[in-house]
Structure 1
Amino acid sequence: MTIPRSARINAWLFPPNSPAPTTFEHLDTGAITLRYPKSDHHLAHFLTSSLRTARTALSTLATTDLITLLGSVGERFTRSLDDDAIAEIAANSGLSPGMTRETLAGMAASWTTGALDRLVRAEFPDPRVLDGFVAEGDRAIRATAPGITLHFGAGSVPGVTVTSMLRALLVKSPVLVKPGAGDVALTTRFARELHRADPRLAAAVAVHYWPGGAPAWQAWERELLTRADQVVTYGSNDTIESIRARAPASTRLIEHPHRIGVAIVEPRGAPDAPAEAARAVSLFDQKGCVSTHLFLVIGDLAAARGWCERLAAQLAKAGTTLPAGPLSPGELSALHQLRGRLAMHGAASAGVEIWSPENTNWTVVLAAAERFEPAGGRTAWVVPVSDTSNCLEILAPLSPVLQSVGLAGVRTDRKLLAEALVTLGATRIVPLNEIPFPQSEWLHDGNRPLGELVRWSEHRSPGGRNVN
């Protein structure tokens, strides 16, 4: 089959002097076809050896200089995103061009020099600990990243893989990145900008898409999992469990599995909450780990119904300002089935109400908490609750997947509420309007995003003398 060049992406970028691939596979994702080298034992060996060697040169960069270098790449890359680039990234991700532009604007805010500097200093008040030993009382300490970080990207939201790659480079760990099929265009474009910026970065950055978990790639993945020092994985629980089962015990695993975002709203104190909620539901087409699926509205049924009507109006507006991308046949079928089930429940009892006009790409569901099922496709579930204690009871079963909680208009002592939410597993409790785009230094899934990439070492001199 002849693949139109305009619709094809080369889904790899290797360090300079890497052997040129000669045989390829292709993956048709709809509007875009991905072209990538076939599985090759010799290539896996070369890439990992080359990246490990690149660590020496990368480590010569002072952290303050590295922040400036990476931040300038992020800023320059963002400025370079013209309509053609946005169209390609949108076609690859399945998001609309308007949604893609909005998503990248929010993501890129954490790729600037200032944002990267805040991230580093939030975790390392003295960034020199990433360059060498620094005195701390009667010892000296330093933070060091392992030699190679292997990244498995999910591909559901463009930009997540770039952020993960930047974090590893900030702590001077060369990266081998496998983007998800929906995040290849952005990741390879950004990697090319890194290659152009500095030869030390070019030698330390490799991107290679392959169909994760495919039988023909099992040996390739096993070899990389063995050769990498640490593995960062974004993806479904099945993906993470598969990697966990195959990685050696000596390989550090950093996992970011499926998560659910929720919100607690007290309408009387939050007139802007419907618009903020619509944005939280619409951004990323509800595919992000921070995406909000469930809204607990404090008040009686009538108050919750009125809030649903206002939310529905805002979701209708968002359909114009943040157009949804096309749903896959599977996603479309699941959404139709959900709407059908809900319509049946609504007809059979007064316990379910639905706002989903014909030919719309959003749904608002007012129902009891036990009916909640995260569905995606811009589906907002609204549950009326009596108070924040009732909220905690409802959220308890979601504890294993709870991450971000947005608050709007809540008059209860927020500190006490936050303490209670933490016991349920929430790791990010913020105003509802801040839900979609965390700050660069956010505690990702309850961990410090740079801290989880490094190991600490100490050096003590005989007799407890200051080693510096």
Structure 2
Amino acid sequence: MDDRIVEIQAYKVPSSIQVTEIREELHETEKGVFLLKYPILSARKIAEISQSVQENRANYLAKLSINDIVAKIDQAVLKWLNPDYQLRHYAEILIPRITGYDSEMVRLELKRYLRMFRKKELLRFLDEEFDQSAMLDEFRPRKTGGMSRAYGPNSIFHVFSGNVPGVQIWSLIMGLLLKSANIGKTSTAEPLFPVLFVESLAEVDPQLADSIAILPWKGGTKELEEQAISAAEAIIVYGSNTTVEKVRQLVPFGKKFLTYGHKISLALIGKEALTADYYFETIHKLAEDVSVYDQQSCLSPQSVLVEEGGAVNPNQFAQMLAAELERYHKKRPRAKLSAEEAMSIQKVRNRYELESLSGEKVSVFASQNDSAWTVIYHDEAGMDASPLNRTIHVFKSCRLEEDIPKMVVYQDYLQSCGLAASPFRLFQIAEILGSLGVNRISPIGEMNRAKPGWHHDGGFNLLDLVRFTDIERNLEQDLERFDPDVE
């Protein structure tokens, strides 16, 4: 163990800003001692920081071409794909320490996630939403005639959640692609990764990084949030529905306000994925979808509908899934829970164990002596929400297409669906899911890895934030007569 103390700022402000009041937090790890420094903020300091990032945006970021911005983000991402990169080492040591997640899980998932933001993926992301990404640089011809240009917000205030490490940079990168100044409020659950990523941007281009501030403060600190909202043109909030509603009350009418609140995802397993050749692989992949970041992502399945007719029946599937979750837990243990989280799991277990004793068609398969994982089997079709932390409901289905509509009670909350079934059934199943509000259908084993350009919660990522200015075709033609050299 290294005896020296490594000091890390758990915040990022423009180089012109001085932070004088600091609180410190010591973390002793097997790989060294780290002192995290947090700013003590006031509304006046938020106002000062907001003005600085907006000035830096106007003087530099707004003048860069979209291709230049993509190239600079790509350079920062490539640093993170180097196993020897120092900031990556800090993240791999400290994020498991702060969050409680398994260190190997954090290492693998951060690496996989960051690959999504390489240049080729960012260009796909832009092309998904704009016919011409150059519309963010200048007026470009429209197919119907005339010209258009897209303008991002001058500044964006992001309220980040901390349940899944790394996802905060999705929002930050959106802001950079729109040439917006960005202030990100981090969660106490995971305040570090956005700071380290912006430090990487600063290594590539300090002026670009000066258009971003990453700040931690306790959620619900009204005077700080009111100031940050007041200074921003757009607000993006990630988190629970309670968090979203609290921020919504502070946002004046007329400001762009995007929210990503509580959602529920599910998995569908057709009999074609349960043949003798495929059932073990299917169960293994589903166990990973359930286990990665302990179901804290809204992309993780909380229920799975398993079709009869395979080499293993739905009840056997549930038992085998339980065994696979046990193996996964031995390899990558679940994070330690708060007393409240552990109690939620125990309440669910108790409820369904009592139902099983009362003759209900339900069974509970659970880890012994702890709450590491729980599988609840229902001998009928349906869907149920989970207390998370590797707790999954398995429902029997006679036929997927007939049973999916029974999930309509959760229509307002449905997010992603993992699917393993015959390709000939894809579009019929997709139509049913789409009508229920599901906005993403992915392979089993890939549920936590949404691809760039996906329609998050069914909307756009960039288009929902921009405004357009159109030059009509007849104006172009009309102005030609004022050319002194016109024929």
TM-score, length of structure 1 as denominator length? 0.92
> Partner residue of 2:21?
23
Give distance in 1, aligned partners of 2:160 and 2:369: 32
Q: CA deviation at 1:389?
A: 3.6
Q: Where does 1:176-191 land on structure 2 (aligned, <5 Å)?
A: 176-191=183-198
SS in structure 2 opposite 1:313?
helix
Give distance in 2, aligned partners of 1:443 and 1:403: 10
SS in structure 2 opposite 1:413?
helix
Percent identical across equivalent pairs? 25
CA offsets, 1:417-437, max 9 Å, x none? Answer: 211211111000122232120
> Partner residue of 1:336?
346
Shift in CA distance, 5/150, structure 1 to aligned 2, threshold 3 Å: farther
Q: Does 1:254 align with 2:258?
A: yes
What code does the residue aligned with 1:458 have? D
What code does the residue aligned with 2:11 have? W
Q: RMSD of the TM alignment (CA)?
A: 2.6
CA offsets, 1:166-190, max 9 Å, x none? Answer: 1110121111011212221211111
SS in structure 1 opposite 2:161?
coil
Give distance in 2, aligned partners of 1:359 and 1:42: 51
Q: Where does 1:8-47 land on structure 2 (aligned, <5 Å)?
A: 10-18=9-17, 20-25=18-23, 35-47=37-49
> Partner residue of 2:54?
52
> Partner residue of 2:328?
318
Instruction: Flag structure 2 segments of 5+ consecutive residues without an equivalent.
Output: 481-487
> Partner residue of 1:121?
127
SS in structure 2 opposite 1:141?
strand
> Partner residue of 1:373?
385
Give distance in 2, aligned partners of 1:248 and 1:30: 44
> Partner residue of 1:227?
231
Q: Does 1:143 align with 2:147?
A: no
Q: CA deviation at 1:237?
A: 0.2
TM-score, length of structure 2 as denominator length? 0.88
Q: CA deviation at 1:165?
A: 0.6
The count of corresponding residues between Structure 1 and Structure 2 is: 461
Q: CA deviation at 1:26?
A: 6.3
Q: Does 1:132 align with 2:135?
A: no
What code does the residue aligned with 2:315 have? R
Q: Does 1:169 align with 2:176?
A: yes
Q: CA deviation at 1:370?
A: 6.3
Considering Cα pairs closer than 8 Å and 6+ residues apart, tell me whether 1 or 2 has the greater RCO: 1
Q: Does 1:287 align with 2:296?
A: yes
What code does the residue aligned with 2:165 have? P
> Partner residue of 2:69?
66
SS in structure 1 opposite 2:19?
coil
Give distance in 1, aligned partners of 2:154 and 2:125: 21
What code does the residue aligned with 2:459 have? N
Q: CA deviation at 1:131?
A: 0.4
> Partner residue of 1:418?
430
**Among candidates 156, 159, 165, match of residue 163 of structure 2:** 156
What code does the residue aligned with 1:148 have? S
Q: CA deviation at 1:447?
A: 1.5
Q: CA deviation at 1:152?
A: 0.5
Shift in CA distance, 418/206, structure 1 to aligned 2, threshold 3 Å: same
Give distance in 1, aligned partners of 2:88 and 2:214: 23
Q: Does 1:444 align with 2:447?
A: no
Of 127-136 and 316-325, the range deviating more from structure 2: 316-325
Give distance in 2, aligned partners of 1:78 and 1:329: 37
Shift in CA distance, 229/92, structure 1 to aligned 2, threshold 3 Å: same
Shift in CA distance, 82/399, structure 1 to aligned 2, threshold 3 Å: same
Q: CA deviation at 1:106?
A: 2.3
Is the 8 Å Cα contact of residues 264 and 391 (structure 1) preserved in structure 2? no
**Among candidates 84, 108, 111, match of residue 114 of structure 2:** 108
What code does the residue aligned with 1:181 have? T
Shift in CA distance, 7/153, structure 1 to aligned 2, threshold 3 Å: farther
**Among candidates 212, 217, 226, match of residue 210 of structure 1:** 217
Is the 8 Å Cα contact of residues 260 and 290 (structure 1) preserved in structure 2? yes
**Among candidates 256, 269, 284, match of residue 265 of structure 1:** 269
> Partner residue of 1:85?
91
Q: Does 1:276 align with 2:288?
A: no
SS in structure 2 opposite 1:109?
helix
Shift in CA distance, 403/133, structure 1 to aligned 2, threshold 3 Å: same
Q: CA deviation at 1:332?
A: 1.6
Is the 8 Å Cα contact of residues 260 and 402 (structure 1) preserved in structure 2? yes
Q: CA deviation at 1:411?
A: 6.2
Q: CA deviation at 1:399?
A: 0.7
**Among candidates 338, 341, 345, match of residue 355 of structure 2:** 345
Q: CA deviation at 1:463?
A: 4.4
Is the 8 Å Cα contact of residues 14 and 205 (structure 1) preserved in structure 2? yes
What code does the residue aligned with 2:133 have? P
Is the 8 Å Cα contact of residues 86 and 100 (structure 1) preserved in structure 2? yes
Give distance in 1, aligned partners of 2:160 and 2:27: 16
Q: CA deviation at 1:340?
A: 2.2
SS in structure 1 opposite 2:191?
helix
Give distance in 1, aligned partners of 2:4 and 2:161: 25
CA offsets, 1:97-147, max 9 Å, x none? Answer: 011112212211212122112111222232211101101143111111011
